[in-house]
Structure 1
């Protein structure tokens, strides 16, 4: 029979190295064992995390925290650090372990397949707040990424109110048929502090309009862009701008191209527009003298990882000498790509 390994009897220097090598989800589970374990982890964990603290929803009754980048909007279960799930009637919670989180005793169990703790709550958003407070206190970090739905929208406001560092990424999504509130959307577009990416994947009321100037957003990806007007587009200051389900016309795009050629939207690298119908000649009205037809197929990768094959198109040159390609894809998407191509750095 082997003897137990008394971790906290290890001298300080090797103990710190051991803790630095342990996975965050293992450290979180270990931290609940005692006040001493929590204190030792908080004191000795020194290395930076390979990733950013992400909080999000699996579905309306389950939320999670992770230190892993998403891949196509998905964080694998094995990469989660903590989960909050809603109580259901057909599970006996009395036999589960109880730990203290946020001043209350919470039932938890280990997800043995993926190696992280699952906690159970009457309200998963309240649970997610408590778990977030616990993790950021344990590791002395801030929240970087949020995936929120209409149900958990106020998580965005809550994080912004409690930390000085702006959020890096926000994914605001909801697949229900009920439109999101206009107040929430205006907050996201106008007042919510992000420094990198904003993805909006939900429908809005048919009469919704945004009359304010867009703030600086590096990557803006709007899946249901019926509400975006040409005036909105002209005020955007982004590197990647993706608009789907748009009502913009070929004439609107022509106005935008002239705006860019005159020096507008100077940071732009990629603009993709999925709309009802695009006539490339109307898009290039009054610009054909500055357009060179290119028949070659060229691959383009934007700063935020959008990979596109440009099947022919027209090259146009701005007032600053920068060249961009205007191309209509086979699926009807209009692509505006600024050269030189920038390596994906997200």
Structure 2
């Protein structure tokens, strides 16, 4: 016998709705407009305040996930795919859109235009829960979403990740430049893209907590490093020279890049003979320090003592033993480890 949820007393209804997972609420909201409005009115308003909504746009689908707890687990609540994937399957229409629930814990909607479909599902979920987009994860063809998100909400993104899925092509430089100039996130920004050897970026990034150039970081110059405002910076595929690093350390000793706590450069190819200029007053040391970062969500701390770096929105702990010590003019110290392929600088308060 069907449960008469529309005639349930308010107190009981609120309790029932509070027990539902986000994907269950989205799924139930498609039953009727009355039920959707009922869910909107009776869902505990305090819950979504602590949630983070993630919009994902990939080549084959768009998706909305919601992170409900501090452990970083994402719950997919709805997905949009191109109608071509159906190929003969007959599914029902919902509000004019083809839908599918079979073998899925969340609604899957099918559209003739995947971009429009992705916009539709994002608008639907943000309206249902009255929350903004916090995280944006895109592949190369999803750069349209950057301006779309920036124009639809005043709230800056928390996390942003962009992945170039194809090899460097004729418009790769233009695409990466667009992403760097327009994508903004307060916590985590990850860029992975193939660009030409001639690519240059003359803008600024930040402020943010973590910046990760995941690959092909050969375009990063000394000026880029100085102008990136981030607490943690990781660059893979760097071509910075020893002279560049000495100049950056002079900049840091004089008080520049004052928010920087962690710098990790992985070099594309280098053979260094000498490292530090005498005026930097760098000294060898055997001291051991622990660099520790716990994000605002205070997730579990991940411990690494190798050269592997976990770089996302959760806790991070790294033991830095030995190397070189350098002191800023105001007394703040940093420990440096470096070899032919890697440079790590950890700053202590």
State the TM-score, normalizing by the size of structure 2: 0.84
- How much does 1:170 deviate? 1.0
For residue 130 of structure 1, give the secondary structure of its aligned residue in structure 2.
helix
Cα distance, 1:178 vs structure 2? 3.6
Residue of structure 2 equivalent to 1:134: 124
1:75-224 matched pairs, under 5 angstroms: 79-88=75-84, 91-94=87-90, 96-100=91-95, 105-110=96-101, 112=103, 115-179=105-169, 181-223=172-214, 224=216
Counterpart in 2 of 1:343? Answer: none
Aligned partner of residue 131 in structure 2, secondary structure: coil
Question: Does 221-230 or 208-217 show the bigger shift?
Answer: 208-217
Deviation of 1:306 after TM superposition, in Å, equals 4.4
Deviation at 1:70, TM superposition (A): 12
* Aligned-partner Cα distance in 2 for 1:306–1:256: 25
d(CA) in 2 for partners of 1:270, 1:211: 23
Residue pair 2:186, 2:206 contacting (<8 A) in 1 also = no
What's the offset of the Cα at 1:231?
Answer: 1.3
Shift in Å at residue 190 of structure 1?
2.8
2:344 corresponding residue in structure 1: 335
- Structure-2 separation of matches of 1:262 and 1:165: 34
Distance 1:205 1:142, change over 3 A: same
**Corresponding position of 2:56:** 56
SS at match of 1:189: helix
Q: Please provide the CA RMSD for this pair.
A: 2.6
Shift of 1:281: 4.2
Determine the structure 2 residue equivalent to 1:7: 5
* Number of residue equivalences: 324
Equivalent residue number for residue 344 of structure 1: none
1:33 aligns with 2:31: yes
CA distance in 1, matches of 2:137, 2:324: 37
Q: Deviations over 1:228-259 (max 9, x none)?
A: 11111111211011111111112211111111
Contact persistence 2:249–2:280 (CA under 8 A): no
CA distance 1:87–1:280, change in 2 (3 Å): farther
8 Å CA contact retained: 2:65, 2:76: yes
Q: Give the structure 2 partner of residue 262 of structure 1.
A: 254
Q: For 2:102 and 2:253, how far apart are their aligned partners in 1?
A: 55
- What's the CA shift string for 1:87-143, capped at 9, x where partnerless? 33663332x12212xxxx22211253x511111122322211110011111111111
Equivalent position SS for 1:141:
coil
**Gaps in structure 1 of 5+ consecutive residues:** 341-346
2:283 is equivalent to residue 274 of structure 1: no
How far the C-alpha of 1:36 sits from its partner, in A, is 0.5
Tell me if structure 1 keeps the 8 A contact 2:281–2:326.
no
The secondary structure found in structure 1 opposite 2:15 is: helix
Does 1 or 2 have the higher relative contact order (CA < 8 Å, sep 6+)?
2
Cα shift readout 1:259-279 (whole Å, capped 9, x = no counterpart): 111100010111100112264
TM-score (norm 1): 0.85
2:207 partner SS:
coil
What are the ranges of 5 or more consecutive residues in structure 2 without an aligned counterpart? 295-312
Greater fraction strand: 2
Answer yes or no: is 1:323 the counterpart of 2:333.
yes
Retained in 2: the 8 A contact 1:82–1:116? yes
